[in-house]
Amino acid sequence: MSDFDFDFFVIGGGSGGVRAANRVSALGKKVGLAEEYRMGGTCVIRGCVPKKLFVYASHYPEYFEDAAGYGFSVGETSFDWKVLMAKKDEEIARLEGLYRKGLEGNNVEIFDSRAVLKGPHEVYLEASGKTVTAAQILVATGGNANTHNDLDGHEHCITSNEALHLEELPKSIIIAGGGYIAVEFANIFHGLGVETTLIYRGVKILGGFDDDLRDHLQQTMIDKGIKVILHEVFTKVEKRSDGKLDATLSGGDVLTVDQIMLGLGRHPNTKGLGLDNAGVEINQKGAIIVDDYCRTNVPHIWAVGDVIDRVQLTPVAIHESMSLLQTAFLNNPTKPDYDTIPTAVFSQPEIGTVGLSEEQAVKKYSALEVYKTTFRPMKNILPGRDEKMMMKLIVDASTRIVVGAHVIGPDAGEMAQLLGISLKARCTKDDFDATMALHPSAAEEFVTMYEPTYRIKDGERVG
């Protein structure tokens, strides 16, 4: 009989923690899981899922506009923010229930409590004041929104968390940041009729993405009416007597709006977890330090997901949990594979990308072929919408392997998921060329770009 209360104890009920708990329990192990808020974590409760529902809603004004091009007379429309919020909350509750039901069905003991490490094998449950012990422990507590506490007046601002629970839709908003969170919410609010300004300290939005994607999206956002201010940051935020907010920018301008959102990324959620009590090391950013197998410096304590700050994506946390299962319980040491991860930005237009950007590929390969096309998708022609799509393939010239695939336009994320299979399989450009096109579709462009748009040799474009 074990000397511990649990064979495996999970702190955090997000996607990574829940997957690990379910799979380890299925092996016949005694498993406990503690979650202090709601089951589902960032993705289900305050991230991907509610955000995507808002993205869908924000598309409808354009759908109504485009309907006339197809012969429909939509008439006057109206939007009720409270209805959207209620429907969103209903879906989140449903999904949370499914997470909880799955854990219960796998005989995982659930503790609705904040959990704090009291020692290498001890977990203190604040709700009950009880301490339990575990042979192995997983920390999967995710991340917290960056509230920019150094900003004078930061307490008057919201983050993406609060943006998903606003009682009223603001008439105007400034969003600070240039990453995918800020960009997606700028498009959401603009699509719902809010006067939207995006302020970013950098040269262009979406650092780390392919430059052609960044340029295309940034210009399209501006063309749609989103005000994009670059090379500036807030220096101060003040609340006025009428409830509006004054934002002072580093260039000296003062902008007055109803809401200010800080879309400045997320920090690992490790504060107050008692990691020092267990001897678990963290880095300067507060992320838990793990080895290639997601094991901390304490051999029986593991960590996955945003709390280790490697790749902040839900499927990555789940994948890390599955690798942990193999390593810790099935005697099959398995490293998570972070190579060639498809991802999307649910902007308007949408971005889908997998593999290397052109800028990354130039640093890795001496000779590249770049295939690129820009066109107006068929669905935009009858409505007279000028918005264009862009597709791009980056090919290692020596092996002909496609090392990067990028698309911006309708259903780009769906395309990126399927392109991810091709790039993961290391398909060559010849494989793409040999694939029959599906016509008429936008995605067929990926298999009909037969001649390179240009070549790159030793970092220089050669034609």
439 catalytic, yes or no? yes
Catalytic residue among 190, 267, 300, 439: 439
Q: What sign results for the dihedral spanned by CA atoms 101, 106, 111, 117?
A: negative
The CA distance from 354 to 259, in Å, is 34
- Comparing CA positions, the residue from 139, 130, 92, 135 lying closest to residue 111 is 130
The CA distance from 333 to 326, in Å, is 6
Residues serving a catalytic function are: 439
